[in-house]
Amino acid sequence: FNVSRAIGRTLHAGDEVVVTNLDHDANVAPWVALQETGATIRRVDFDPADCTLDMAGLEAAISPRTRVVALGYASNAVGTINDVARAAELAHAAGAWLYVDAVHYAPHGPIDVQALGCDFLACSTYKFFGPHGGVLWGRYELLDALPAYKVRPAGDAPPDKFETGTQSFEALAGATAAVDYLASVGHRFGAEYAVDWAGFEGRRRDLKAGLSAIHGYERDLAEKLVSGLQAIRGLRIHGITDLERFDERVPTVSFTMDGLTAPEISRRLGESNVFAWAGNFYALSVTERLGLEDRGGLLRVGLAHYNTADEVETLLGLLDDMPR
């Protein structure tokens, strides 16, 4: 909302903002609110068959009047990784800015804003094992030029102009610890998932290596999970299931089962000490598009690097034996 309001002060009637139906509503509602400026909101759909974004539709939605394209790096509902670099090319060809919501991708792999070519990227420290706090990266010249809403004593240059007062120092300390932890993963396990990080040294290299190691480990777990889920009668995964395309998804797997609603599945798993969230996960447009919002939404299983193959086997056994 902070960034959308600042950008909103630069918009005029007839300007366009592009959002997608695959995003968390946190990357939809703040942009839709800009209709109050006279801006037009254009929505891009996704393919319900594999829950991948309609890239041709994205290209068609962008016009010379487009000012902002808001896109998720990875879907928190179905795990799809979007082609952010291609979206940046399309946006910039029209003279628009690309704003990336990387909240759900951040704990699952390294992020390189220069390689992506985005103009803004946001994430949350709680997703990569720290406390609750918002993180915004933006091209300095854009942040410097945007007219931020601010208190008068705040500095006039980034980042101070976007801060709302005294910072949350305890959250900053926790965020630092989380980043140090991820770097420690790279120092310990990076060699097992060899990636050429030429040009990076010390803690930053360890951080890149750590997230690469996490990505590799989680992919192995996700392949085991998806293969096992597909063998369960009456279970349908909503998202990419082709193992050859797993570079296009994070290890967040959502599904429905015949004869049970997602909340019922969640409750029964909870009785066996397995936590899995049911609902729309604030990605309301996804469950609406899939026709599941009025039926309890999706059952979501989110794997992380601290999960094990034994835990996956336990989950699969409970689902396979679940009465319907």
Helix, coil or strand: residue 319? helix
Q: What confidence tens digit (pLDDT) does each residue in 24-65 have?
A: 999 999 999 999 999 999 999 999 999 999 999 999 999 999
DSSP string, 189-201: HGGGG----TT--
Q: What confidence tens digit (pLDDT) does each residue in 228-239 have?
A: 999 999 999 999
pLDDT at 240: 98
- Euclidean distance between CA atoms 230 and 70, whole angstroms: 33
- Euclidean distance between CA atoms 186 and 28, whole angstroms: 34
DSSP string, 138-175: E-HHHHHHS-----TTS-SSTTGGG--SS--HHHHHHH
Number of residues that make up the chain: 324
pLDDT at 193: 65
- Euclidean distance between CA atoms 295 and 259, whole angstroms: 11
Assess contact for 91 and 97: CB atoms under 8 A: yes
Please list the pLDDT of the chain residue by residue as tens digits (324 residues): 999 999 999 999 999 999 999 999 999 999 999 999 999 999 999 999 999 999 999 999 999 999 999 999 999 999 999 999 999 999 999 999 999 999 999 999 999 999 999 999 999 999 999 999 999 999 999 999 999 998 889 999 999 999 878 889 999 999 999 999 999 999 888 777 656 666 778 888 899 999 999 999 999 999 999 999 999 999 999 999 999 999 999 999 999 999 999 999 999 999 999 999 999 999 999 999 999 999 999 999 999 999 999 999 999 999 999 998
The two beta strands, 298-302 and 252-257, are antiparallel
pLDDT at 189: 86
CA 163 to chain centre: 23
Taking the CA atoms of the chain, what radius of gyration do you get in angstroms?
Answer: 21
Summary mean pLDDT of the chain: 95
Helix, coil or strand: residue 60? helix
Position 7, amino acid: I
* Cis peptide bond N-terminal to 64, omega within 30: no
pLDDT at 297: 98
Helix (H) or strand (E) holding 279: strand 277-279
Q: What confidence tens digit (pLDDT) does each residue in 155-167 have?
A: 999 999 998 788 8
- Euclidean distance between CA atoms 231 and 228, whole angstroms: 5
